[in-house]
Amino acid sequence: KSLVDAGGNSYPIGIWVNDWATGHLTARVAGIVIKEKLGYNVELKGPGPLALDGFFALTGCTSPTDKTDRGCGGDGDRLTDVHINVEVWTSTYQLAWEELKLKYPDKAPSNLGNMGYYGATALYVPSGVQERAYDAEGINLDFYRDYNSSRENPGRHFANPGDVNVSYLLPCNETALMLNEVMSNYLDLTGDLEGVSGTAPDLT
């Protein structure tokens, strides 16, 4: 089976793929279930490196991964070819989510609820690094006060910036660091004016 538009044209159910491991996994699992249990044709779309890209894809924007022009204007009657995104971080991009609802009330995506598990993102120090630091100097790297550089030198237990393989890095304009919402949160939490460019509300 396929979906059918008002003109009688058939098309598959489109599932957006988020470009990280669980994003690929959950999209493929959903595709298998929809195809084998419900009998619908399925096509995977994307992938997109940010959860935010999926918001625009679901809205029907023609270039959802283009941060300079998502392609949301134009044909007001155009149907989206992306219908499902099964791993969506709405709380991370809450302002963008609400803005889509205001701009495109008839096409903006809806959150249909929890898919069975919750995810979280955070910084962490690997347990092996913590153990070596404690054995060597009695430093607790899971305790913020032991990062006091006037008393300790916790940096010796981490790689130097020069050790980073730059081939793994992306230009800022290809990352979430170009999103005002993300960088505003960073500034609110850290007060690091040197870590952002521009002034509110246009921060990168």
| Most confident by average pLDDT, 33-42, 146-155, 166-175 | 33-42
- Is residue 172 over pLDDT 80? no
Q: Is the pTM of this model over 0.85?
A: no
pLDDT of residue 88: 87
- Average pLDDT (2-18) is 93
User: Nearest-CA neighbor of 16 among 93, 81, 78?
Assistant: 81
Q: Which has more confidence, 100 or 199?
A: 100
**Angle, vertex CA 24, rays to CA 20 and CA 27, nearest 5:** 135
Q: Percent of the chain, pLDDT > 90? A: 46
